[in-house]
A and B are shown apart, each in its own frame.
Chain A
Amino acid sequence: MRFSVIAVPLIAAFVFGWGLYKKVDILDAFTEGARENLKTALGLLPTLALLMLGVGMFRASGALEALTELLSPVTEVLGFPKECLPLTVLRPVSGSGALAVLKNILAENGPDSFAGRVASVLMGSTETTFYTIAVYFGATRVKKSRHALPAALAGDMTAFLLSSLAVRLFLGFTAR
């Protein structure tokens, strides 16, 4: 685990050090990058408001719990925490929706619980598959994306199956 503690500071130090060595205007570069990303973050808000509404109502009504309960025999066999199920459904479809669900999972189970860790790994190691495929082929004249989506979804399935295994392997957490 030492690596993960030191990796981020090391990268930051390296980037700043290299920037100084290359005589980059650090203040100007940093603020420009920060400004761009702040705009992006703010742009997420309207969509997130809708997603939080839908996800929030779904959870508050108890329908979400009923759904995960229904699917829990399947996840139990795979050793996958059932709290993370909603995330696997939303992740390939909507990035901000998945963020909203992740926030809930972390708040309810604790970020360092088994479910909290698996949800974090799942979120960090996958992408918004449907959106990506649509955007990438939408930019070209290609109409038949052929097996792009099945292959990408095979990758997502791998991530779902491996995330709980990886958490057990590296963080040694078997009990919930």
Chain B
Amino acid sequence: MSVKNGINGWAGTIVRVNLSTGTITKEDTLPKYKPFIGGMGIGYKVIWDEVPLDADPLGPDAKCVFGVGPLTASGVPCSGRMNITLLSCWSKGYSIVDAHMGGHIAHAFKYAGYDAMIVEGQSDKPVYIKIDDDKVTIEDASHIWGKGTFEVNATLAKENGPEFDVASIGTAGENLVHMSNIVTSFGNSGGAGIGALLGSKKCKALVVRGTGAVKIAEPLKVRLLSNYMIKDLVGGNNNHTVPCHAQSWSEYVATNNRWQGAPGITWDKASKGPIDMGEQPSGQINVAALRCNKGVFDFGEIAEKYTVKQGGCSSCPVRCYTEYDMDPLAEYDLPTHVSNTCMPIIKMLEWYPNHKDANGESVPSTHDFVDEKDAKMILGGAGSRAADEYGVWCNYGNLYEDFNMAYTTGVLKDVADRLYPGEWDTIPWALMEAGDPRWVWECYRRISLGKGLFADLGLGTYELYQKWGMDDPEKNVAGINFYDFVNGKNFNIGHNGYPRHHGPENCWQAGTLYSMMYNRDCMIHHLINFCSSGAPYYDIIKPVLEHFFGEGCTDAQKKYTPINENKIKLAKWAFIGKQWHDSATLCNWMYPMTIATSKKRQYIGDLDLDAKYMSAVLGEEYTREDQERDSERISQLLRVITAISFKLNLGSTNLRKDHDHVSDWVFDKEPDFKAFDEGTVKLDREDWEKSLDMWYEALGWNKETGIPTRETLEKFDLAECADKLEELGLI
């Protein structure tokens, strides 16, 4: 543990678990990984050094790196995040991706004394990895193989002790389903196919107990900074800084955002009577956890009756996971305790498209359960629990959007008839048509099997579209390219197999640029947070952002303007900032503190806060420049690895063309509008090409290919990356 190692911030040790040989070794984190910060940075450096980028992502040479950073478990709010780096088995190019896991396990891991764990090799029988401070062992998992994650997590916690934290894969991972995850706490999970990777290693779970401590250079300063952040800066979920019910201390009221806590909004199912969320004035710590009521935001006030409390991740005051007890599910013999915060609970209606009745009329498949319009919530509760039970990941919603579009366009039936004759009639469509919550359980069960029609959905969009001909109008009965077509349910941002998160729909060219940078959805919230914060655009958002990044750096919602240098500056800050979050580690949904709740500060946030935390934790000066330099180093490594993967796996030498290609709908949607009209989010193709030019220039990449130049890489001490690119003819 870091106190023992005498190191501030970092735990100081990386553990390597070889599941082929059964050996466990340890190495020092520093000084080797210091330039890469921690978490994602360590993961990328390890993959770069040790994993051939044309390795089978589910083969014996594949590795994954569980990582945390110097700010994890350092007392800093919202630092309960664990990053897991791996090769993608499912997106175009099969390049490097990350899964991210919240809950409490990141802290346990850090307290146990580790910055990272490299998992390599493959076990020939089911095992789990047990970390008990210094003692790291490989344990038999034969008694839990084949079981759902809730049962496994409870079993392992019971067997090992209440102080152990647990994360496990479901049967989807065991069956090497690409769309699979690892599940911890209650509803916290890491996706990106990590379930399949661990399944290929027959590694069922990770259990961790940490009795150690993280050494902090200036602990009282960390506490003071934390108090300052919670009082004056941070808002509610997604850092929304204006409540959407009038509160007497707040100048503004949002029309509808994630700050739903207010007098009259209650946790009705608190065990001893409803708890009123009251007002949560800026300047007070003891009310911060009462700002977010995700259930009410997602489903309306009908969610109150099933809300027990709000939960979430270690060290976070915001609590974005609503913890429900949904009684109506009991009538279907389904578990009533459900908890989630995002797609798995809010998009379950996608599994219930309208169907044709006996007369061939299109009719809804859902019905109210107890309250009007509560199907979204009840089916959401069922679906989120099922997804986690089987360990299925949804690719930020693409999983069920693809199902919904395929069903609705007739593609699903056509594929079933051609590729899986006889299977259609075994599918209990009556459950779907009746809006029965057991339908969504059945969907996830079928996906988790790894075989059959539904399991194709589990391949992920990229391979699914290839197999079902959905990427070629000539090859499917709908005559559509599902990557490009204009449809409210098409969120594919490019042709790589993942959606925007958040892209052109809210964040103009900036969101689109950074959406294209990864090998999965980008999960960048730097911009969307202030866009949706509830703060008025002209009075607060624009002046604050321009204070930081210069004139014209932002656009108002649905009122975009052509690209300019300051927009590129803002976009770059957000892009490299995501690497910072996943390396430090800090929650991607809460940081940075851009807009403040405090009127006294004129609502101006503190973008130097993260560096202040680092300085206080490390006991050495760490500036924002340092943070941005180290984050950009990791960003450059991401791009290099992507370029090499595309070359080795696809023969591509041009990322601009083959990776950064944006779907047509981004430019073709909303035909009643022109780009940059008031009321549309569509972009302009010429403006987009210009944006790419400026973006590549800002990042030091070749304008034609979008690949980093030697000069750029040498600036970040990545000369060996330049050598490799040159060897492959990419620069």
A binds B: no
Q: Which residues of B contact A (CB under 8 A)?
A: none
